[in-house]
Structure 1
């Protein structure tokens, strides 16, 4: 079975999507529609902007979403997903790709999500850190032993977890992780503590927008970050999308479940090759491709 996976924030680069815009009428039309919906020319920032401009959450999230979704739409008949998954923000791209969300609604939700997350980041100093070379259980135990908010946020692949929370708690956790034998524990250059309780204000705001959006029955299941299992019910998809902001991204578990359910190949659709790399670390025998 063919699985398609969609990247999240961090995969952006200057010039992303430009070749699509210049070589496909459909892509050009969709990019221009996106400029209209967002109320600013995101294409100018994607194609010519600085890394700094691209890093702004309100730009990054729609930019990665647009690159992924428009690339999928230009694949034409060859795009026949039998299962999809997306890493964090990428889950929205996956839901447009499997027909659960329209292009327009997906973009509006991603834009609202980005703005809500940005606001939540400004309430209290918070951050994320990558922890390498420790078992999941040890990372979870260390987080639980720290005073303050710090949790496991991204289960990227065995031995690579991202933790998230209040800046001081994350810094303490990093020291404790090193003491527990981590190869590395380093702060990430992010705007705030995504996928942690610090995102509660954003979750409340996004919940309203998701509830007011029409979701359709998808053409194939989505393996959602929250459950790491196949979901095809529109109501369940909505519920999990809302929980996603404050819950961990179970990427390792999702990929393992997709393989258990019959995935024979994984194709990453969007900027970069981060997910292909993670899939290969989760299962060395998995066939991986970049669209």
Structure 2
């Protein structure tokens, strides 16, 4: 079985999608439609913009989404048995399996990005990667911290968890995790505590937008971040994609579940090779490739 997987924020780079635009007529049409939907030429920033420009919230998430989705939709013999996406990538996955139209997916991604930015401004916060500790130890340390928000946010692979929280909460957690034997605790250059309760304002705003959007029955299951399980029921998918904003991304568990249910080949659609690397850390026996 073959699963197509889609990366999240952080995979962007200057020049992303330019080859697709210049060498694939169908891809060029998608990019042109995207410029119309967004009301500005995101292609200019994707193809020629600086690293700082690409880091703008209203650019980053739509740019990664566009590169990923257009790569998938213009590839030959695109026929996944399952799809999954890491955080933002879940929206790409939902377009790839027909749950969302291209335009609706793009509009939701932009609304999500702007809502998350507003939530970051309300609650100053951040994230940090914890390397070299078991999940249970990280969870215990986060639970032990009082009067601050700090929780596991991304279960990326064995020995790699990202935590989210207030600046003070992360500072306390980092010291405790190092005492517990973490190889490193690395602060991430992000604008806020994604996938934590501090994103509740964005959760509420996105829920309204999703409830107003047409979701169709998918062509194949999507393994969703909130519980790593496969879904094809539209109402369940909608609830899960909203809940994702304030809940951990269970990527390692999603990949393990896909493998346990017969997936032996993963195709990463979009910029970079981050997901391929994580998948190999989860199970070296499976094959991976990028598009």
The answer to whether the superposition gives a TM-score over 0.5 is yes
Q: C-alpha displacement at 1:124, in angstroms?
A: 2.1
1:188-227 to 2 correspondences below 5 Å: 188-227=188-227
Cα separation, 2, equivalents of 1:250 and 1:33: 32
Q: C-alpha displacement at 1:125, in angstroms?
A: 1.4
Cα separation, 1, equivalents of 2:271 and 2:47: 13
Q: 1:142-201, CA deviations, whole angstroms, 9 ceiling, x for partnerless residues?
A: 011112000000000000000001111011101110011000011100010000000000
SS at match of 1:245: helix
Q: Aligned-pair RMSD on alpha carbons?
A: 0.6
Aligned to 1:106: 105
Cα separation, 1, equivalents of 2:162 and 2:269: 23
SS at match of 1:164: strand
Cα separation, 2, equivalents of 1:56 and 1:128: 17
Q: Is 1:23 aligned to 2:47, yes or no?
A: no
Cα separation, 2, equivalents of 1:6 and 1:25: 22
1:242-253 to 2 correspondences below 5 Å: 242-253=242-253
Aligned to 1:73: 73
Cα separation, 2, equivalents of 1:188 and 1:171: 13
Structure 1 residue runs of 4 or more that deviate by more than 6 Å after TM superposition = none
Cα separation, 2, equivalents of 1:47 and 1:171: 37
Aligned to 1:186: 186
Cα separation, 2, equivalents of 1:163 and 1:126: 11
SS at match of 2:255: helix
Aligned to 1:141: 140
Q: C-alpha displacement at 1:57, in angstroms?
A: 1.6
Cα separation, 1, equivalents of 2:30 and 2:180: 49
Cα separation, 2, equivalents of 1:71 and 1:264: 21
Q: 1:63-96, CA deviations, whole angstroms, 9 ceiling, x for partnerless residues?
A: 00000000111113x1110000000000000000
Q: C-alpha displacement at 1:58, in angstroms?
A: 1.3
Aligned residues: 290
Q: C-alpha displacement at 1:9, in angstroms?
A: 0.2
Cα separation, 1, equivalents of 2:56 and 2:179: 34
SS at match of 2:22: helix
Q: 1:84-125, CA deviations, whole angstroms, 9 ceiling, x for partnerless residues?
A: 000000000000000010000000000000000000001121
Cα separation, 1, equivalents of 2:34 and 2:226: 28
Aligned to 2:156: 156
* Gaps in structure 1 of 5+ consecutive residues: none
* Gaps in structure 2 of 5+ consecutive residues: none
Q: Is 1:89 aligned to 2:88, yes or no?
A: yes
Q: Is 1:122 aligned to 2:121, yes or no?
A: yes
Cα separation, 2, equivalents of 1:64 and 1:125: 24
